[in-house]
Structure 1
Amino acid sequence: MRSARKVTVSPRATIREVLETIDQAAMQIALVVKEDRLVGTITDGDLRRAFLRGKSLDDFIDDIYNVSPVKGYLSQPKEDLLQMALAAGVKQVPMVDDQGLLVGVEVIDEYLRISEKPNTVVVMAGGLGTRLRPLTENTPKPLLKVGSRPILETIIRNFTQYGFRRIFLSLNYRGEQIQDYFGDGREFGARLHYLVENKRLGTAGALSLLPEKCEQPVIIMNGDLLTNVNFEHLVNYHNLSGASATMCVRDYELQVPYGVVHSDGATIKQIEEKPIHRYYVNAGIYVLSPEVLEKIPRDRYFDMPQLFQKLIDDGAKTCSFPVREYWMDIGQPADFEQANEEYAEVFGV
């Protein structure tokens, strides 16, 4: 995803100003932005048609630009974004976050080419899987098959489709089975490395085992999740936000099964029937800037929520990335059954 900074214009820009922007950016499009929000797009084709109607270089663009442009969302799966762009016949798609704020531009020709990313990925695959016993008595949870593949194979293939190939698997419980299955990862389009926890180090502590300093943000993911989140957009969002750490979050609803009474002393003010409370919960996927890794203690249990709280206490910038795509935490037998029922529809295999 490219930065949008060089291709933005004001709704009160002139045709001359838009032409200069399009020429300098060499993208055949300008994004009309007001208060950081995308309000329209204008292409070189729109300008040519305006000249045919008698417009001059010093006319404003307020009646020229497209007020209902094709746009994509950071939380949009890659396949959906490509299908939308191809159906609309557009070569550039402005990208916005869930609040409608402009964050960048996807150039579809570039998006179709999967370039290898320099980022390191760490998948936490050492859990005991206690809640899924007896399924995990002899098999580590990441090797349990959901659909046609083990959970961890789906995770690895999802990363490689976005060009993230340098992947570390953090192992503990029956880790030798995982190593035997995946080997060096070439069969799955990845370059796999292994971090072996001799004792449980938690979702952040295991990062202290990385053998070398990382120069780019690191993606961390729990090894019992199935999701089609757009990892490329996640990393781009982290970089654009300037955050030290980004946590993927998920909507969670909790309904009170009774009428809730709101009172002032003994006086009832309101009765709210079975209210629904909505929260954001930790989705188990993170991006950490390289300097954050230095804050993780070595050889000590340290969880990711502890790390985020430390960053918050230290005044570092931390951001959330809402996951709107499919997401399933396979923690209970019912989750495992549901994931198997949904797998083919979501992942197509």
Structure 2
Amino acid sequence: MRNNIPIFILCGGLGTRIKEETEFRPKPMVPIGENPILIHIMNSYAKYGFKRFVLCTGFKSEVIKDYFLRYSELNSDFSIDFNTNTKKILSIDHNLDWDVTLAYTGAETMTGGRIAIAAEKYLNGSEHFGVTYGDGLCDADLNEHFDYHLSHNKIGTVLGVNPPSRFGEIKLDQDTVVEFSEKPAFNEKWINGGFFFFKKEFLGYLSKDKDCVLEKNPLVNLAKDSQLNLFKHKGFWACMDTQRDRDYLTELLEKNEAPWI
């Protein structure tokens, strides 16, 4: 069943907050170790059986298209007969069994519009689908997330995370400090972790208009209708917004301490 659930990955943004990396490539193609962060995200799904992907491209879409068009060649032995201009793959040195669709959704289209445009063509009758961004990693059990979504029978289920604060926390009794914590490890303030499962009915909340933002009217209205559940995840989660974030993820990988692997 998991194999037939399309996962829509938002790959079309400008990535302006990490401009030093996105001047020549879209953010999902920024490498973490040897592979783009996009491949790490797709691997996170694939290990739980989700192997059907729809990449919603926009900014510098040609970079992503070229990567996947040449993936087998770059990871295989092959020969070229220049007399006939023919090419033969001799051995495939990867074990990917994914179904990857690259859907161009416009250079300036916002997140909700991208999903609506791609889903109209490539949902292919599926009753459920996943959505995530092209810059976030976590170690959540996505099987549990999907099972939770199915069992609660809501239109949408978002992964809720509560990353530790980068800043200290001070608790006061009037002006007296009663507790000082340098960096609280856990709090009950849940935020959008960027991993979703939806019923196909969610498409009714979206618009193909380029200004449709997933996080605004679609999710706000879904919540107003009591159709959005939260799947709580207390483990690892990180979003690659800045160069500092990218360096942090790279360091974890180089130390063999990457929780998402």
User: Please, which moves more after superposition, 224-233 or 328-337?
Assistant: 224-233
The aligned counterpart of 2:248 is 338
Aligned-partner Cα distance in 2 for 1:157–1:183: 18
**Equivalent position to 1:166, from 52, 55, 79:** 52
The aligned counterpart of 1:40 is none
Q: Describe the SS at the equivalent of 1:248.
A: strand
The aligned counterpart of 2:152 is 241
- Post-superposition Cα deviations, 1:38-97, rounded to whole Å, max 9, x if no partner, equal xxxxxxxxxxxxxxxxxxxxxxxxxxxxxxxxxxxxxxxxxxxxxxxxxxxxxxxxxxxx
**Equivalent position to 2:67, from 157, 181, 195:** 181
Aligned-partner Cα distance in 1 for 2:48–2:178: 46
Residues 173, 165 of structure 1: alpha-carbon distance in 2 compared, 3 angstrom cutoff: same
**Equivalent position to 2:111, from 171, 178, 203:** 203
Code of the residue aligned with 2:133 in structure 1: it is N
Q: Describe the SS at the equivalent of 1:286.
A: strand
Q: Does 1:319 align with 2:206?
A: no
Q: Describe the SS at the equivalent of 1:305.
A: coil
Q: Does 1:147 align with 2:33?
A: yes
Measured after TM superposition, the shift of residue 337 of structure 1 is 0.6
Normalised TM-score (structure 1):
0.59
- Post-superposition Cα deviations, 1:164-197, rounded to whole Å, max 9, x if no partner, equal 1211001111111101111398763211112212
User: Please, which moves more after superposition, 208-217 or 120-129?
Assistant: 208-217
Q: Describe the SS at the equivalent of 1:170.
A: strand
Residues 221, 259 of structure 1: alpha-carbon distance in 2 compared, 3 angstrom cutoff: closer
Q: Identity over aligned residues, as a percent? A: 20
Aligned-partner Cα distance in 1 for 2:138–2:107: 28
Residues 184, 229 of structure 1: alpha-carbon distance in 2 compared, 3 angstrom cutoff: farther
Alpha-carbon contact 1:248-1:320 (below 8 Å) kept: yes
Measured after TM superposition, the shift of residue 322 of structure 1 is 1.6
Size of the alignment, in residue pairs? 228
Residues 253, 296 of structure 1: alpha-carbon distance in 2 compared, 3 angstrom cutoff: same
Residues 324, 253 of structure 1: alpha-carbon distance in 2 compared, 3 angstrom cutoff: closer
Aligned-partner Cα distance in 1 for 2:51–2:171: 52
Residues 323, 185 of structure 1: alpha-carbon distance in 2 compared, 3 angstrom cutoff: farther
Rg larger in structure: 1
Aligned-partner Cα distance in 1 for 2:240–2:40: 13
Measured after TM superposition, the shift of residue 284 of structure 1 is 1.0
The aligned counterpart of 1:13 is none
The aligned counterpart of 2:100 is 192
Measured after TM superposition, the shift of residue 151 of structure 1 is 0.5
Q: Describe the SS at the equivalent of 1:177.
A: helix
CA RMSD of aligned residues (A): 2.6
Measured after TM superposition, the shift of residue 333 of structure 1 is 1.2
- 5+ long unaligned stretches in structure 2: 73-93
Alpha-carbon contact 1:184-1:192 (below 8 Å) kept: no
User: Please, which moves more after superposition, 172-181 or 213-222?
Assistant: 213-222
Alpha-carbon contact 1:185-1:191 (below 8 Å) kept: no
Residues 142, 212 of structure 1: alpha-carbon distance in 2 compared, 3 angstrom cutoff: closer
